[in-house]
Structure 1
Amino acid sequence: MSEMFFDAAPNATRVAPARPLPRDYPATKPGDVYLFGTCVVDLFYPEAGLDAIRLLEREGIRVHFPDQQSCCGQPAYTSGYTDEARAVARAQLALFEHDYPVVVPSGSCAGMFRHHYPMLFADEPVLLARAQALAERTFELAEFLLEVCRVQWRDQGPPVAVALHTSCSARREMNTHLHVRTLLDRLDNVERREHDHESECCGFGGTFCVRMPEISGAMVANKIESLERSGAARMVTADGGCLMNISGAMEKRAAGMPSEHLASFLWRRTNPAAVTQ
């Protein structure tokens, strides 16, 4: 929910970035990339991070994972705590010293790198240059697989209908909902079911779900009802925060729809040894 800003601290005014413009992609795959794993993947869905690495390594790419990486700073930033967000961002800038692409298995964290880091350091010329350079080489995972790796996969799994949830930031800052749709639609045995709340927020929004739990709960309830009406057997999303919120709410409702991070779903569907459905 990167376009919801709260006056939680002084000088909290924000200007949401414009919708992303088309970008130029490298003509060939790089030999090396960094993976920024995100704090949610690291703490709650580590297998999704490992599956993202497996997908990249299968394309012949060496994956580097700086072990001092932490949060991207988005929760503090969107809550109005600019100084705290800047401190977190400064620590992340120091980790990606080589000119490798930075691949992120989350549209919201990738959007923070790509659009908001330059804003954070607008008054610090040296760090601004580094933030702009990082922004230009930051890619969300689905975007990188589709547009840079130009993956050609054979679907190894049985027929299954899935419903896609796309996070607010992925749609509005990175356009990566389009990349995810394309990757899923290329899997011969996967039917992507449309649902009327795909573009709606799930209610997570980082600190939003803590600050406004009643509204957040109503939003995720609407999301789950829409997913269930789609008739899909499984929900897939490329953002760990949304996955945690929706799957947790589904468990409380005893809903029968399994949920999975896109990286794990793609790995299972295209790796014969991992296929279950």
Structure 2
Amino acid sequence: MREKIDTRAIGLDVGLSFIKWLTGAENLHYGLWDGLEVTAGNLRSAQDAYTTKLFKMLPDGPLRILDIGGGAGETARKLLDLGHSVDIVVPSAFLAGRCRENAPAATVHECMFEDLQVDKKFDLCLFSESFQYIPVDIALQKAADHLDEGGEIIVSDCFRSKGFERQKVGSTVGGGHRIGTYRESLAALPLTTVSEEDITASVAPSVDLEQALFNVFGHAITRIDTELGQKKRKTRWFIKRALATVMSKRKRFRLHQRLMEKTRTADHFKANNVYLMIKLKPA
């Protein structure tokens, strides 16, 4: 039986390698752009500003922290440097490996958060752009179950606002639970909101920067396609046939849209999404 190619792992590997080359760190999260020009050269500064703001929400330490969906371990490494102890939950074998290399002092649990089995209690459960990948009620209840007395939960993530709509295929950033679903689930649980801050406008320029990057790739592809059309028509025909064989018409349309158009913008993001930094604690 032929093994299936793990395109997700390939994408993560390439994405993290590119980000590390560009910024020196393996962060794939949004940046905080207040006072910064929206350029690739400022991405590291914007992401560092986001992390600084996130860490200001932490209770007094040192803390036992459960970093849920810890990415490549960059946040955990910084938390360890501040004197906290960190357990990371990450379902991807590739990302678990990056966590072990970037934050060797952390304990890495390679599993879905829903499947986590651990006897430890924590002072803080942290969802930094990982909350959207877990069913709301499970995420909140399981996090609460892992808190020690006096513990807190931090959720920093994107939600779909009340006005969310897909006006065009691929044009809206789809990640995140509906904000109404989150509020309904929260109301049904013995948790209370300590603080909630809307930082949508501050992170939204990240969408413009990402789209600009895709357009750079699109420009390169267009330039190559034009040259092939003029000088290597048979080669161009075979390439187009090959793409049609391995990709559906819908996928080709979405790829073309991401590479050639400017359908995802900061303004569109602000109209359809809301990015919140939330602190919760057991009632």
Fold shared, TM-score > 0.5 on shorter chain: no
Q: TM-score, normalised by structure 1?
A: 0.31
Name the structure with the higher strand share. Answer: 2
Q: TM-score, normalised by structure 2?
A: 0.30
